[in-house]
């Protein structure tokens, strides 16, 4: 996974949706997601309305359809797991398709907002709605150092690959587990150093 894949907004998202103020955009998305989650399963008309609004949003965003489809494919297995659990329950078998549709629509709304809103704007909205400052700071640090860890993992993967002459699948999985373990150790050490540096500068 590369840093561009983790980018919080697409570089070509220059459509009209990108120019909508972040508070209005995030508030509308939150309201639609809340309504989609709370609406009864037999109210298919609401899902059709939300689907239409998502389609309009995609057109206004300027985001490539392939870009959105890739992220839906990557993230849908996690979200659609809710629908699978619901389908396994005797009382939920009749509504699992509705649950899957709701999950996909909510995920699409999140992708639209996150890829047309800069992370600084998101943090600004969180501060306006009085989210605790410590939580906002923690989210900002997580976002900042996520890219650092991705770059570190990529360097470790290349270094490991340059020393590996066997291309078997078993060897690849073993190398991957080694990289993950070493990355965890390095991340812990880096976190300790960052905390010590921030404490030395008066951060609490």
pLDDT digits (tens, 9 = 90+) for 38-82: 888 777 788 888 889 988 888 888 888 888 888 887 777 766 666
Q: Quick check: 21 pLDDT over 80?
A: yes
Residue 179, token pair as written in the block: 């990289």
* pLDDT beyond 80 at 189: no
Lowest-pLDDT choice from 1-5, 74-78, 177-181, 191-195: 1-5
Q: What is the mean pLDDT of residues 169-195?
A: 73
- How far is C-alpha 13 from the chain's CA centre? 17
Percent with pLDDT over 70 in the chain: 75
The band of 9, judged by pLDDT with boundaries at 50, 70 and 90, is low
Per residue, the 3-state secondary structure of the chain, as one string, reads: CCHHHHCCCCCCCCCHHHHCCHHHHHHHHHHHHHHHHHCCCCCHHHHHHHHHHHHHHHHHHCCCHHHHHHHHHHHHHHHCHHHHHHHHCHHHHHHHHHHHHHHHHHHHHHHHHHCCCCHHHHHHHHHHCCCCHHHHHHHHHHHHHHHHHHHHHHHHHHHHHHCCCCCCHHHHHHHHHHHHHHHHHHHHHHHHHHHHHHHHCCCC
Q: What CA–CA distance (Å, rounded) separates 203 from 83?
A: 43
Using CB atoms within 10 Å of the CB of residue 83, give its burial: 0 to 12 exposed, 13 to 18 middle, 19+ buried: buried
Q: Is the pLDDT at 10 greater than 70, yes or no? A: no
When pLDDT is averaged across residues 140-164 and rounded to a whole number, the result is 77
Residue spans of the domains in the chain: they are 3-127, 132-200
pLDDT at 5: 41
116-125, 168-177, 178-187, range with greatest mean pLDDT: 116-125
- pLDDT computed for residue 1 by the predictor: 43
Q: What is the pLDDT of residues 91-114, one digit of tens each?
A: 545 566 777 788 888 888 888 888
């Amino acid at each position: 996974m590369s840093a561009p894949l983790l980018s919080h907004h697409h570089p070509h998202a220059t459509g009209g949706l990108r120019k909508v103020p972040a508070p209005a955009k995030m508030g509308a998305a939150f309201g639609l997601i809340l309504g989609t989650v709370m609406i009864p399963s037999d109210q298919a008309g609401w899902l059709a309305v939300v689907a239409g609004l998502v389609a309009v949003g995609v057109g206004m965003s300027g985001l490539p359809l392939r870009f959105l489809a890739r992220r839906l494919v990557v993230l849908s297995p996690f979200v659609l797991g809710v629908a699978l659990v619901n389908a396994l329950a005797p009382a939920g078998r009749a509504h699992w398709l509705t649950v899957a549709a709701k999950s996909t629509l909510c995920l699409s709304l999140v992708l639209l907002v996150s890829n047309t809103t800069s992370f600084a704007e998101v943090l600004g909205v969180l501060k306006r709605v009085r989210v605790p400052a410590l939580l906002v700071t923690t989210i900002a640090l997580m976002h900042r150092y996520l890219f650092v860890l991705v770059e570190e993992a990529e360097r470790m993967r290349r270094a490991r690959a340059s020393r590996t002459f066997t291309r078997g699948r078993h060897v690849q999985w073993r190398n991957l587990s080694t990289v993950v373990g070493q990355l965890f150790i390095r991340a812990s050490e880096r976190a300790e150093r960052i905390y010590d540096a921030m404490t030395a500068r008066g951060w609490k």
